Chain A
Amino acid sequence: MSADVLPYTVKPHPVTGVYSGKLGVWLFLASEVMLFGALFSAYVLTRTGAPAEGPAVWPTGEATHLSWKIGGINTLILIVSSVTMVMAWAKCKMNNLASARKYLIVTFLLAAAFLFLKLTFEYIPKFHHGLVPSKNNFYGLYFTLTGLHALHIIGGMIVIAYFIGPGAKLWEKDPEYYTNRLECTGLYWHFVDLVWIFLFPVLYLM
């Protein structure tokens, strides 16, 4: 069964007002809210229940060895990448695939920069200093939350790379379908950005 046989794959449904992929992505994002929500809840419960002294004490401020400057730069990087993602979709709407592609490439590079900063200035130095997930629950949750988030970034990068490369063939067959799929990717990308906007203050500033 392909797109031209299944209705409302490209054109919006008269009652729901969306094409199927968009509804699907919103539902997926709802489940992702529950996923990260569960981890944030674990963070709250673990932090409030942490003992006052001993190896399991919860580090704050300087003791976390987290640089809000690096985190802040990464936040800006992701926000800009969300903008470039929207621009890519907008250029498609304006029938300009070449421009859209450029914006997609920038988005990809920004995401790569995010991961590079994370790895080089955060993860690797921490491992060298013995600040590993098992050190205490702060690091456990820090690595789990940011690690899961990073996996989502990588997933998004793979999809964006696909639409820059082999996926762009779809533009010739059905430009509206291609544009819709970029829109869905964009929705996912904004969500990943939004998760970071919660992670940053919770982990770096509180």
Chain B
Amino acid sequence: MSHDDHHHELSFWRKYVFSVDHKVIGIQYGITALCFLLFGFCLMMMMRWQLAYPGKSLPVIGGLLGEAFMPGGVMTPDFYNSLGAMHGTIMVFLGVVPMLVGAFGNYIMPLQIGAPDMSFPRLNMMSYWVYATGGVIMLASFFAPGGAAASGWTSYAPLSVIATQGQTWWLIGMIFLITSSLLGSINFIVTICQLRAKGLTMFRLPFFVWAQFVTSFLLLLAFPPLEAAGVLQLMDRVAGTSFFLPEGLVVSGQQLIHGHVVAGGGSPLLWQHLFWFLAHPEVYVLILPAMGMVAEIIAANTRKPLWGYRALVYSTVFLGFMSFVVWAHHMFITGMGTKLGMFFAATTMIISIPSVVILTALVISLYNGSIRFNVPMLFALAFLPMFGIGGLTGLPLGLPASDIQLHDTYYVIAHFHYVVAPGTIFAIFAGVYHWFPKITGRKMNDALGKIHFVISFIGMNGVFMPMFFVGVAGMLRRGYDPTAYEANANLMYLVRLSSWSAWLLGVGQLPFIFNFVTSIFAGKKVEENPWKATTLEWAAPSPPPHGNFATVPVVYRGPYEYNTHDREDDYFPQHLAAEA
């Protein structure tokens, strides 16, 4: 079937670097994103030293980073703030989303729908290279005079407008990343609509594909306002405009100058509205594909269909819609009145319902199953209570009255990290272990995987559970030195507990990295469907060749026919014709 039989063999560059094959692009996204995840994690590990031992010289690394950032091995508050801003930016935009959508989405989704590739392969390649360029720009910003962006990943104006040059690089980098996401999302939606195999109706799609489908709409429609806002902030910084600057600003004793006194008349709140209009749907972008992966792994390892498939699909779509109308729950403390406060609190309560439905459906799916506790399943199972904690702790934040006390404290950090870290990142680990055999034809080592799981589970909880307590006590986020407030003195033991857990968590990733790299070359070879799963990607060879399937598959049934038919095998793959 491979059309390229007629063509000459592609050059190294066309085959591995500037490839239009979704699988190569998926791997490119995957390796790049994993590197960024590790880098972002290292930034945080450095921050945690300063938090645990404020003002103390960081052993070994402290001496390496120069007098500008770490005089005498002690990080400056500016450097701390830029580590914080870049940790968030890198993890969200360079790590998690490219991994979930660019890597797993790109590699697995076309296989799961029986397609030979994405609808727009060259656009796909462009998406990757625009992302990679944005990533390089973000990394380069560390070398800008004054360091990288340091106004939080949220870049609130006016602070971000008066910040040093690194913020300009951040804005330019964001424009590249947003463009990459937009191009990618168009590709995903069109592919899912147009290239499904014969017989694969929408309600026979694996839930992972539905999750990617809704996620792509969120990316498509929510990112442009941030792109617009980014352009406006760039102009405020570079062209002297005042979109986000009110009149009469006096910074360090001087009226604000950009060659002339700034005209003013703008509003800092405009930035916040435009930013959060994207950034709230963005968090659903972070969780939906993760839920999709967890669902696939649970179905395969309980040997029965997912419970409530339709509920899962409708909840996901409803969640997508609702995610556009909750954004100002990040802004309760800006001076919001009763009407707006009530509206956004109500929508936030309502949006918790589909999340609970999805989580409950996944838990009920375990009932009456035959549960296999392999490494991907361990991570997928752990996702459920971890996401549960993250989701539940959103409630006190989503109600304005309780948010008064908790806004901008460590409670917020603990809430969203539970969702993204032992939530989404566990789902990413689960996905890596689960699909590694399809991508490489080999399995990863089980014992190392279990060790990775245990240390990660302990580490994640050790880092983030203490933060709920510290947040309720009033310790504020983005604080270079918690001991600057007397009230925090009795909390430092919890801060140190988080820090040591973070370093333990870091150490625990080494078996994973070692396992991942060595298994590519020396892992145990396995056949094409080692998990005995039903979805279409397992019908292709491991790894799939260019064009994916030797014969175009036809689909005869739903995605989770485990133990639903009387057969010798306890599963009935989607593409096998009915017998007799």
**Residues of A bordering B, CB below 8 Å:** 1-2, 4-9, 13, 15-16, 20, 23-24, 27-28, 30-32, 34-39, 41-42, 45-46, 49-51, 54-58, 132-137, 140-141, 144, 148
Contact = CB atoms under 8 A, between A and B. Distances in A.
B247 A51 contact: yes
Contacts of A36: 228
Contacts of A32: 224
A46 to B, nearest CB: 6
30 contacts: A5-B116, A5-B547, A6-B195, A20-B120, A24-B186, A27-B189, A28-B182, A30-B220, A31-B223, A34-B221, A35-B228, A38-B274, A39-B232, A42-B270, A45-B267, A49-B265, A50-B265, A51-B264, A54-B265, A55-B265, A58-B265, A133-B240, A134-B239, A134-B240, A136-B242, A136-B265, A137-B241, A137-B242, A140-B235, A140-B239
Interface stretch (B255-263, B433-441, B465-473): B255-263
A72 B227 CA distance: 29
Given A20-B120, A38-B225, A50-B265, A27 B190 contact: yes
Contact of B260 (A13, A28, A56, A134): A134
A36 B273 CA distance: 15
Contacts of B21: 1
Interface string B183-204: 0011101100111000000000
Nearest to B201: A15
A55 B264 contact: yes
B121 interface: yes
Contacts of A50: 265
A143 B273 CA distance: 22
B198 to A, nearest CB: 10
B266 interface: yes
A169 to B, nearest CB: 17
B260 A34 contact: no
B119 interface: yes
B125 to A, nearest CB: 11
The 4 closest A-B pairs by CB, nearest first: A56-B265, A134-B240, A38-B225, A35-B224
B220 A27 contact: yes
Contact of A34 (B224, B232, B239): B224
Given A31-B224, A56-B265, A7 B229 contact: no
Band of interface residues on B = 35 or more
Interface of B: 3, 20-21, 116-117, 119-121, 182, 185-187, 189-190, 193-195, 220-225, 227-229, 231-232, 235, 239-243, 247, 258-267, 270, 273-274, 277, 547
A20 B119 contact: yes
A134 B227 contact: no
Given A23-B190, A24-B119, A34-B224, A133 B239 contact: yes
A31 B266 contact: no
Contact of A38 (B187, B229, B266, B267): B229
Contacts of A23: 189-190, 193-194
Given A6-B117, A20-B195, 10 more contacts: A5-B3, A15-B193, A31-B185, A31-B186, A31-B220, A46-B267, A56-B247, A133-B239, A140-B242, A140-B243
B458 to A, nearest CB: 42
Nearest to B261: A55
A25 to B, nearest CB: 9
A35 B220 CA distance: 10
Given A38-B228, A42-B232, A27 B186 contact: yes
A112 B55 CA distance: 61
Nearest to A1: B117
A57 B220 CA distance: 35
Contacts of A55: 247, 261, 263-265
Given A1-B116, A38-B229, A31 B121 contact: no
Given A2-B3, A133-B241, A137-B263, A46 B270 contact: yes
B109 to A, nearest CB: 15
A57 B227 CA distance: 27
